Amino acid sequence: MFKGLTAKKIYKFFEGILLIFLISAVFLCAFTTHAFADENYEKDKYGLYIRNNSSMYPSWYPVDGNAFKGYNDPDIPRVVDMADILSDEQEEALKSKIAEYSAIINKDIVIVTDNSSYYLGHERYCYDFYDYNGYGLGGTYEGICLFICMDPDNRGWWVGATGYETRDIYTEEVANRLDDDLYEYMVNHDYANGISKWIDNVYNTCSTYVAREPEALPDWFPENINEFISFHDDKCPRIVDFAGVLTDTQKEEISQKLALYKTKTNKDLVVVTDISDYNLKPEKYRDYFYECNGYGIGDEYEGMCLFVIAGDVSDFSSGAYGAETHLLYDKEKKQFETYLKSGFQNRRYYEGINEWMDMVYNMYSKGYALAPDWYPTLKEKENFVRTHNTEISRVIDSCSGDGLFTSEQEEELNSKIKEISDKYGVDVIINTTENFCGMGSDEYIEALYNYNGYGLGDDYNAIILCLTKYYENVYINTYGKIADELSEVNYKRMQEQSQDIKNSGSYFRSAEAFLENVEHFERTGRVSRTLGQWVFAGVITALVGWLFGRHALKKAKKTMVTVRSEYGADNYVCGSDSFSQGTDTFISRDVRKVKIPRTTYSSSSSSRSSHSSSGRSSYHSSSRGSSGRSHSGSGRRF
């Protein structure tokens, strides 16, 4: 049966079988990839594939995002108005403009509106809509997407930039400029013109962009960034000192601290130093270093990265990665930029890196990068129970260095406070601080009051004076019984008197005046005016009296008729005036007591939203969508 069957024929036979198998595999892969794009699903009226029936997600959202394979769909609409804020004519005009501009700048431009962001949030909705619906040009899916959410309780927008070049164009400066223009249209409900202007701005920005010629790129930079695939590497060092500004001992200490904080927070912390940003810009160097070296925890690559530039000019760039980290860092970013700037510019690299690590840990564990030692962690807050603490000092001098009070002054103030508290049953607290640790003044003082166990009696009766080193105002907050008793007039007198003394340069005398006023108020029910206030009030009263008197005299003279004198009484006309006795009868009394709202003096406020409601936009230089693709983006509420 096998007669004439040679080795050559057997080889040819198996070669043919292998060729058929390879052709079938290639065809199957191509068919499978295309099938994910349509999967024989029907399209909705907007031209999107209906993939999901869950109310938690939009209908276009894939059931299994892990199976997603990127694709380009040139036929899918570039304007999808699910919130119905555009007329048919407006939609068509926008689509025509996008088609024209996109062909010139070689970037996709996508507009999507919806009445909800579902459980995704504005940022994630924007990225996932772009990634999962086949948008983007070329292998890096270059393009930009504007998502407008019309949910009345969550109205706002997010812009997502995708692709190496588009992300390089969409810097924080560009994001704020485009968002500022868009904001005016959005708040005035002029959606079509606002979107049209935004598209014009995108086109003008992209068409004038000139790609920067980078220097010889660092060794770690991928040979082809467009084909780079993200990965995790737990073994990659978390402190990389290319600039050589740290000793071996310092690097080891930093490495141990980074590892400790990583374990405690379950977030990656990375520090890199270099003498140049290789003309990538500091933010891009930082982002690509983090992304291309396997850093980050979990699917969203959660963590923080610090890039220290130690060249001719010394500076730093701190960045956040992952949705959870972005949410915290958005409201704390200013604290990082302000607090660390001086140290790095003065080339205190080791100290600056340590301060950055501590701030990052505080941000993750307490919610505030500059949170004081007494402030509880987020977990401690969940189980917090209000108590009285009679042992803790009533004078907390939190300012760095030697503080604002000497030890003798602190002792004297504490002694006076004890006398007042024992006699009148009110807790009196004096705190000094350089700033409010990223909180508003009221939030900071109330946290100080609650978490340190201050307050006497069942209503935690207390009054707190807060003296700040860098703000002009002094801050006084009241709680319990004294909050009801201290009127607005007495509060202002107390606050102004301490503030005037503090601004003249004496913190201790300002605190003394506060204690004197508290004692006088508890004893008499009022706060005395100062001698200057009495003199000023007297002068003003006299001046006002003189002006009114002078005016009344002039008015009276005008109505007077000069009387002509007579020699006898016969020429005077006498009328028959009659008088009767009258009495006043008391009917009733109506007394109404109104609580006057107290003015608060807050130097700053904090926002917990994922993006701001006005002013500067929230900007994320590096974020990942559910597909794993990297994006840059910005957003704002309206």
State the total domains in the chain: 4
- Asked whether 261 and 283 are in contact (CB, 8 A), the reply is no
Given 500, 524, 548, the domain boundary residue is 524
Place of tokens 């907050």: 477
DSSP assignment of 324-362: HHHHHHHHHHHHHHHHHHHHHHTT-HHHHHHHHHHHHHH
H or E segment and range at residue 494: helix 488-503
Asked if 79 and 182 sit in the same domain, the reply is yes
Asked if 356 and 283 sit in the same domain, the reply is yes
Asked whether residue 44 is domain-assigned, the answer is: no
Full domain range(s) for residue 14 = 6-34
Asked whether residue 452 is domain-assigned, the answer is: yes
What is the distance between the alpha carbons of residues 588 and 318, in angstroms, rounded to a whole number? Answer: 70
Asked if 171 and 246 sit in the same domain, the reply is no
What is the distance between the alpha carbons of residues 437 and 358, in angstroms, rounded to a whole number? Answer: 13
pTM passes above 0.85: no
What is the distance between the alpha carbons of residues 605 and 607, in angstroms, rounded to a whole number? Answer: 7
Asked if 441 and 386 sit in the same domain, the reply is yes
What is the distance between the alpha carbons of residues 265 and 626, in angstroms, rounded to a whole number? Answer: 22
What is the distance between the alpha carbons of residues 525 and 530, in angstroms, rounded to a whole number? Answer: 16
Asked whether residue 466 is domain-assigned, the answer is: yes
Given 309, 344, 366, the domain boundary residue is 366
Asked if 439 and 330 sit in the same domain, the reply is no
Q: Tens of pLDDT along 262-274? A: 999 999 999 999 9
What is the distance between the alpha carbons of residues 84 and 90, in angstroms, rounded to a whole number? Answer: 11
User: Across the chain, which distance is largest between two alpha carbons, in Å?
Assistant: 172
Asked whether residue 402 is domain-assigned, the answer is: yes
Place of tokens 């730093």: 316
Amino acid at 129: F
Number of H helices and E strands in the chain, helices first, is: 17, 14
* Residue 291: how many other CB atoms lie within 10 Å: 21
Mean pLDDT (whole number) for 511-520: 96
Q: Torsion angle of alpha carbons 180, 184, 190, 195, nearest 10°? A: -10
Main-chain phi, psi angles of 389, to 5 degrees: -125, 100
pLDDT value at 528 more than 50: yes
Main-chain phi, psi angles of 36, to 5 degrees: -65, -30
Q: Tens of pLDDT along 22-64? A: 555 444 444 444 434 455 688 999 999 998 888 889 999 998 8
Q: Give, in order, the Cα–Cα distances in Å from 548 to each of 255, 298, 535, 540, 541.
A: 77, 77, 20, 12, 11
Helices 507-524, 488-503: axis angle to 10 degrees equals 160
Asked if 148 and 13 sit in the same domain, the reply is no
Place of tokens 């500091």: 282
What percent of the chain is predicted at pLDDT more than 70?
79
Asked if 281 and 338 sit in the same domain, the reply is yes
CATH number of the domain that residue 402 is part of:
3.10.310.50
What is the distance between the alpha carbons of residues 521 and 524, in angstroms, rounded to a whole number? Answer: 5
In which band, very low, low, confident or very high, does the pLDDT at 69 lie, cut at 50, 70 and 90?
confident
Asked whether residue 535 is domain-assigned, the answer is: no
What is the distance between the alpha carbons of residues 518 and 527, in angstroms, rounded to a whole number? Answer: 8
pLDDT, the chain, mean: 85
Place of tokens 């501590």: 358
Mean pLDDT (whole number) for 133-138: 94
- Asked whether 435 and 468 are in contact (CB, 8 A), the reply is yes
Asked whether residue 171 is domain-assigned, the answer is: yes
H or E segment and range at residue 526: none
pLDDT at 30: 43
Burial class of residue 622 (count of CB atoms within 10 Å of its CB; 0-12, 13-18, 19+): buried
pLDDT at 381: 93
pLDDT at 63: 87
Given 366, 392, 413, the domain boundary residue is 366
Asked if 320 and 184 sit in the same domain, the reply is no
Asked if 83 and 159 sit in the same domain, the reply is yes
Query: Exposed e or buried b for every residue in 588-613, given b needs 16+ CB within 10 A?
Result: eeeeeeeeeebeebebbeeeebbbbe
Place of tokens 């029910």: 525
Asked whether residue 542 is domain-assigned, the answer is: no
pLDDT at 52: 87
What is the distance between the alpha carbons of residues 111 and 135, in angstroms, rounded to a whole number? Answer: 11
Asked if 355 and 392 sit in the same domain, the reply is no
In which band, very low, low, confident or very high, does the pLDDT at 549 lie, cut at 50, 70 and 90?
low
pLDDT at 607: 31
In which band, very low, low, confident or very high, does the pLDDT at 382 lie, cut at 50, 70 and 90?
very high
pLDDT at 246: 97
Mean pLDDT (whole number) for 191-209: 96
Burial class of residue 216 (count of CB atoms within 10 Å of its CB; 0-12, 13-18, 19+): exposed
Asked if 204 and 82 sit in the same domain, the reply is yes
pLDDT value at 592 more than 80: no
What is the distance between the alpha carbons of residues 302 and 307, in angstroms, rounded to a whole number? Answer: 17
Asked whether residue 590 is domain-assigned, the answer is: no
Asked if 333 and 296 sit in the same domain, the reply is yes
